[in-house]
A and B are shown apart, each in its own frame.
Chain A
Amino acid sequence: MVEMRKFGLAACITFFALSPGLANAESYWQNSSGSPIQDSNGVCVIASAAKHVVAACKPADRIILLPGDNGKAGAVLVTSKGTTHRLDQAYKTVSIAEGGFSEKSVSAGKVKSEFGQLLNALPLPVASFTVKFVSGSATELTPEAAAVVTQLLAEVERRDAPEIRLVGHTDTVGGLLKNDLLSQQRAQTVVDILINYGLAPGVMEATGRGEREQVVATADNVSEAANRRVDIRVR
């Protein structure tokens, strides 16, 4: 559970940085004095048959802040030529214009139509699972563990190039060193179970953290079911 909370709280910031290379070399309409003709949004008007490319109208690098998984945007600090601009609202975009930063809004629909494929190609988020153990045992899982293992295997199955990280834990009953060993053995038990279900040992990495990382903080020598566990993250 603690692992899941950690991920939930982690800042989820999504952004794009677009540089001139993304757009094909475009040509733009110019007025009689050679300045680019811009539309009401300040965007240069592209002329497919124009003879001259106007340097000032090369597309500028820009960044778009998107909402995270929880619907809220984080924040980014954009620095250019010694000046910093803070962007902290979803669907705001900032680009580097002649006179400095240019902040605008962009619709969710436009982001989807323009960058939907890019967003779809993001890897899946990490999935977290926890199996619990019987008090003092390195090998005996609680009955609920079987269903968790089934879910975990399904999660591994739907991923390309899955990587699994297992971290064993204990409650505070017993000494530090004994619990370090017990936590490692618990992680190894889960590794062995997963190998039995056909997972390759090479995709798994197991460690033990002893009694250091408690879900429910207790005094020393307290039996606590929630702390006797192996946390498993599928990446």
Chain B
Amino acid sequence: MLKVKLLGLTLLTLMASNVNIALAEVLPSEGKKAGTFKVISGSVTASRNNILHNVKTGDSVFIGDLIITAASSFAGMTLYDNTRLTSGPNSRVVIDAFSFNTTTHKGELSASLDKGSLAVISGQLAKASPEKVVFNTRTMTVGVRGTEFIIEAYGE
């Protein structure tokens, strides 16, 4: 019954769909987007090409964005490689560089914390291109590495 229902719905809407489908090796027409703001609490502003934008949930994160959180404010974002970032109150974060190939998972992520706090859960880039994932503050550079392990094989 359920199968029939799903199939029926499918046939009904096959014509109506306008989602483009392609054999894409990289995310199509993403341009300079790096991800999406998922959690906005309080007042968050993005400085983009020297123009200030008020940020709301669902807005895109662009490469080069300076993300400014006000007091008691938070900005949570998910990048296209599933890196998750949240900047805390009174913070200034810049997404310096981002690229991600959805097939090979190669690319790069570079972000700077000018001031404030930033929580990061690394995504697929840190696994496939660990040397290309870097976070900077004024005094230090943080390179993200995946969990390391050793395999020993003794054969027969």
Identify the A interface with B (CB < 8 A): 6-7, 9-22, 60-61, 63, 68, 72-80, 88, 96, 115, 117-119, 121-126, 139-143, 145-147, 149, 159-161, 163, 180, 184, 187-189, 191-193, 195-196, 201, 204-210, 235
B120 and A61 form a contact (CB under 8 A): no
A195 to B10, CA, bound (A): 9
Question: Given A14-B119, A79-B141, A191-B19, is A146 in contact with B3 using a C-beta cutoff of 8 Å?
Answer: yes
Count the B residues whose beta carbon is within 8 Å of the partner chain — how many?
69
Please give me the residue from chain B that is nearest to A75 by CB atom.
B145
Within the complex, which residue of A12, A15, A145, A163 is in contact with B6, where a contact is CB–CB below 8 Å?
A: A145
| Cα separation A77 to B144 with both chains bound (whole Å) | 7
Q: Give the chain B neighbours of A18 by CB distance below 8 A.
A: 116-117
Known contacts A125-B84, A160-B58; is-contact A77 B143 (Cβ 8 Å): yes
Interface of A is mostly: mixed
- Complex interface: chain B residues within 8 A of A115 (CB): 88, 117, 119
CB pair A76 B91 closer than 8 Å:
no
Assuming A146-B3, A195-B13, is B115 touching A19 (CB within 8 A)?
yes
CA A189 to CA B9, docked complex, whole Å: 9
B124→A76 contact, CB < 8 A: no
The minimal Cβ–Cβ distance linking A17 to chain B, given in whole angstroms, is 5
Q: Say yes or no: A123-B78 contact (C-beta < 8 A), given A19-B116, A146-B3, A163-B36.
A: yes
Mask, B26-44, CB within 8 Å of A = 1, is: 0110000000111101000
B90 within 8 A of A: yes
Q: Are B117 and A80 in contact (CB under 8 A)?
A: no
Q: How far is the CA of A146 from the CA of B4 in the complex (A)?
A: 10
Q: Which of A60, A63, A204 has the most C-beta atoms of chain B within 10 angstroms of its own C-beta?
A: A63
Contact yes or no, A123 B120, CB < 8 A? no
